Chain A
Amino acid sequence: MLFSSTIFLFLFLPTVLIVYYLLPRSFRNGWLLVASLFFYAFGEPRFALLMLLSVGINYFFALFVDVYRHRIGVKWIMFSMIAVNLGLLGWFKYSGFFVQSVNKTFHADFFVPEIVLPLGISFYTFHAMSYVIDIYKEKEAVQKNPLDLALYIAFFPQLVAGPIVRYNTIASQIESRQETVSDFSKGVRRFIIGLSKKLILANGCGQVADAIFDMKDLSMGLAWIGIIAYALQIYFDFSGYSDMAIGLALMFGFHFLENFNYPYISKSVSEFWRRWHISLGSWFRDYVYIPLGGNRVSPWRQYRNLGIVWMLTGLWHGASWTFVAWGVYYGIWIMLEKAFLGKLLARVPVLATVWTLVLVLVGWVFFRSETFPEAITYIQAMFMPDVLWDDRASYQLVQNGVILALACLAATPIPKWIGERFVQSSGKIGQTLQYGYAMVLLFLATSALVASTFNPFIYFRF
C-alpha cells in the first residue's frame, strides 16, 4: 500500500488512528504492529513472511550479541549477522544483476534468476542491521520483546521508503512516548505537505521528465528542461515521502529525524550529501566509513574508504552499473573536495552553488538512464548539442513552465522563510492561515491523486 493511494488515505489511516487512540496505552504498540503488517501485506502478502523472518533472525542475533559480547566469538556472531542480512538483500536485489554481469564479462551463459524485489527490503534490512550493531556498540539495551522489535522494523510510516530510522533514535519512544495535540496537528500538516509534494509537484515534474527521457535527438534546451524536471521530481518524491513518514510518526507520538534539508542550495557535493537523504548518508558514515577507519587513517586509506562507501551507496540505490557509476561519481567529487576543491569553492559561494547544482544534475543523468550510452548521449545533448532549442522544448516550457518554476521555488528555503515572517508579523491571521492552508493543500493533493486514476474512454460500450 502506498501513502499516496485512496485506500490508505480514506480507509487505512483514519481506521488505524481512531483505533489507536481508543485503545489503552498497553495495547497501542500491538495495534501499530498489526496495522503495519497489514499495510505491508496488502498487495504482497508473501513478502510479509520474509520481513518477519528478518525480524526473527535479527532478534536472536541481538540476544546472542548481548549475552556473548565479552567473548571472542561475538565477532563471529556479528559477521554472521551481516552475512545473513546482506545475503538476503543480495539474493533478492542483486543476484540477477550479478549473474548478468558475470555472463557479460566472461561471455558465460549462467541462468539469470528473475526474482521479484520485495517492497522496502533495502530499508528494513538496514533498520535491522543498525539495531544489532547498536546493541553490539552498547548504544542501546537489547530489546527482549520481539513484538517491540518487530514494530521498530515494520512500523508502517518508515517501512517502504524510509527514512532509515536508527534503533537508538526511537528505542525509548517504543517503550514510552507521549502523544500530544501539538505533535498530532504538526504531524497532520507535515503529512499533508508531503502528500502535496508527491502528488502535485513530483508527479507534475515527473510527467515532463518521463516525456523528455523517452525522446530522441534532444536539443540543448530540452535536455536541460528534462534533467531539471527529473531533479525536482526525485527531490519532491523522496522528500515528500519522508515528510509523510515524519508526519505519520508524529501522529502516533514518534519523533523521526529530518531526512532532507534543501539539498539544491548546497555549495559543495559534500554539503549536498549532508542535506540529501540524511539518514542514508549517516548510516553509511557510522556503519561503514567510521568502522573502516574514517578520517583517522592515512590520506590514501581515507580515499579508499570514501571509494568503498560511495560505491556501496550507488549500489544500494539499485542493481545496475549506472547506479554504481553514479555513486563513484559522487565519491570522486567528494575526494577532490577533500583534497583541494573544497577550499576553492568556499571562496566563491554563489559560483559554488551553481557548480554543485550542475554536478548534481549531471549525476541525475546517470541515475535516470538505464544504460551508459543513453546517459552519455543525454550529457552530450546538455553540453555539446547539435541543436540549441526546438519546438518540443518550447512546448514543454509553455505547458509546464509554471509548475517547474513553482517547484524550483519550493525546493529553496524561500517559501518557508516568507511563511515564518508572515506568521510572526500577522498574529492570529497568520496562525489561522498557517493551519488553514494545510486543508486547502489536502483537497488539492487529493484531487491530484484522484485525477491520476482518471481514465476516460472515447470509444466504449457499457
Chain B
Amino acid sequence: MAQPIEKNQKQPQPGTTFEKKMMWLTIISFFVILLTIGIGTILRDDRVSSQLENRTLAQSVQPTMQGVASGEDMLKMESYFGDQLLLRGTLVEMQARLSKNLFQQPFRNGIYTAKNGYMIEPSQAAQPVIPSAFQQFTKDVDRPVYFALAPSKTVIAERDGIIPDYVASNAEQRYKTMQAGFMKAGITSIPLDALKLTDYFKTDHHWNIDGAYQAYDEIIRTVGKTEPTLKKVAMDPQAKRSSEHPYFGSLARKTTLAYASAGDKIEYYDANQFNGIDVCYDNVCGQPLIDEQFIKEEGDYADRYEVFMRGNHGILSMSSKTKGPKLLVLKDSFANPVLPFLANSANLEVVDIRYVNKDFDASEFAKQKNVDAIVFLHNANIAGLMKTYQQKL
C-alpha cells in the first residue's frame, strides 16, 4: 500500500492554489463522512432487529457506576453503536462486493456460490452418533415410528459434483451414517433420496414447494402401508401462487446480495386448498396456515419462508376433521411447507423440539395425544439436535 508522499520528496508544485484546495477538500470530506455517519447514527431511531442479520440488535445502555467502573457498560455501548450504525447494511454489502469482485473470493462466510447460482455450505465433520434415546423411544411409544430424513442441499451438491474438488465436505457420508443409525434404532425410513437440487431454493438451505410436496408424497406412500386411511390429497395446480418480491434466504443473508446473483421465487398453495384445517399454537386456535404478509413484506431479506404457519412453534396442532390417522410430527423448519399438505390427509400434533420446555417428554406427549404413528421430519443437518433429542425423547 502506498505511503503518503513525504515533505522532502519531489511533488508537483507543493503549495499551489490547486493543491491547497485539494488539502481542504480532503479535510472537509473526512469530517463530512465521519460526522454524517456519527451524528446520523445518534439521531435516527434505534432499530430493534436486522432483517439482513436476522437477529435483535444491541440497544442503548443506561450506565451504572458499577458498569462503568468494570468497563462493561463501555463495551455494551460500543456494541450498541456498532449495531445501530448508519449505513451498516450498505457497508456490509460493500465489503462483500470488494471480496467478490476485487479479491475474487468464491467463498463467503463458508458458503460457495456455484455457477448455476446455487449457494452451498460445504461441511466436513465427524460421523454422527445416533443417541440411544431413539431406540428407547420406539419401544416406549409402542406405535410405528418413521424418519423422513431429507438430504441437505450440501449432500445433493456433493452428489452432483458442484462443490470444488479442493473443498473437503463429507455431508453425504454423514447422511448415510445417520440413515443407517435410525434404522438400527428400529425406525422405518421414509426414502427422500430422489430429491434433486432443483427441489431446493438457490439462496436458502430449505427445500421449495416442489421438494416439500415430494416429501409429502413419500410420507403418504410409506406411512400409508400401515395406516390405510392415510390418503394423498392432490393440489390444484391453478392454486399455486408465487411471491412478487424475490426471496433471498438464509444463505444469501450470510453472503449478502453481492454473492446471491438472483433471488428465488417462493411458491405456496392458496389457503383455499387447505379449507377446514384448524391450526392451533400458543394456546390460540384459528391461526393462519398460509400468511401472505410475509410474501408481501418489503425488504430484500424478508423471511418469506414464514408464509407457512408464520414459522416455527414449539407445539402446534392441525386438525382437519379428516378420517385419516392422527400423527405426531417431530420436526425442524424443513417440515413447515410439508405440514399443510399432510394436514389435508391426517390430524397432526407437531412438535419442534428446539422450542419446547426443558422438561418436555416426547414419548409421554405421544401417549397423551393418543397418536397412531410418529414421523420425524428433518433435514440431514441435525447433528446439533441430537443432544436435545437425547434429553426429550
Contact = CB atoms under 8 A, between A and B. Distances in A.
A455 B52 CA distance: 9
Given A424-B10, A458-B250, A6 B92 contact: no
A395 B23 contact: no
Interface in A25-49: 42-46
A456 B78 contact: no
B65 to A, nearest CB: 11
B129 to A, nearest CB: 22
Interface in A417-462: 418-420, 423-424, 427-428, 430-432, 434-435, 438-439, 442-444, 446-448, 450-451, 453-462
B96 interface: yes
Nearest to B84: A6
Contacts of B14: 182
- Most chain A CB within a 10 A radius of its CB, from B3, B41, B53: B3
A146 interface: no
A400 interface: yes
Interface stretch (B163-171, B176-184, B271-279, B369-377): B163-171
B55 A455 contact: yes
A406 B104 CA distance: 12
Interface string A196-210: 110011001000000
A459 B33 contact: no
Contact of A410 (B1, B22, B164): B1
Interface in A278-320: none
B112 to A, nearest CB: 10
Interface in A369-428: 391-392, 394-395, 398-403, 406, 410, 415-416, 418-420, 423-424, 427-428
Interface in B139-182: 164-168
Interface in B51-101: 52-56, 68-69, 71, 74-75, 77-78, 81-83, 85, 88, 91-92, 94-96, 98
A10 interface: yes
A456 B164 contact: no
Interface stretch (B24-32, B227-235, B323-331): B24-32
Contacts of A196: 1
B4 interface: yes
A181 B12 contact: no
A205 B105 CA distance: 13
B166 A457 contact: no
B205 A458 contact: yes
B34 A14 contact: yes
A166 interface: no
Contacts of B333: 459
- Most chain B CB within a 10 A radius of its CB, from A1, A418, A461: A461
B166 A395 contact: yes
Contacts of B31: 14, 17
B24 A181 contact: yes
B167 A435 contact: no
A350 interface: no
23 contacts: A6-B81, A10-B41, A10-B81, A14-B35, A17-B31, A43-B75, A181-B27, A185-B24, A190-B4, A196-B1, A197-B1, A392-B166, A395-B164, A399-B105, A400-B103, A402-B105, A430-B12, A454-B92, A456-B109, A457-B53, A460-B54, A462-B49, A462-B56
Closest A-B pairs by Cβ, 10 of them: A10-B38, A451-B95, A394-B166, A185-B23, A447-B95, A410-B1, A447-B94, A391-B166, A450-B91, A447-B91
Interface of A: 1, 5-7, 9-11, 13-14, 17, 42-46, 181-182, 184-186, 188-190, 192-193, 196-197, 200-201, 204, 236, 243, 391-392, 394-395, 398-403, 406, 410, 415-416, 418-420, 423-424, 427-428, 430-432, 434-435, 438-439, 442-444, 446-448, 450-451, 453-462
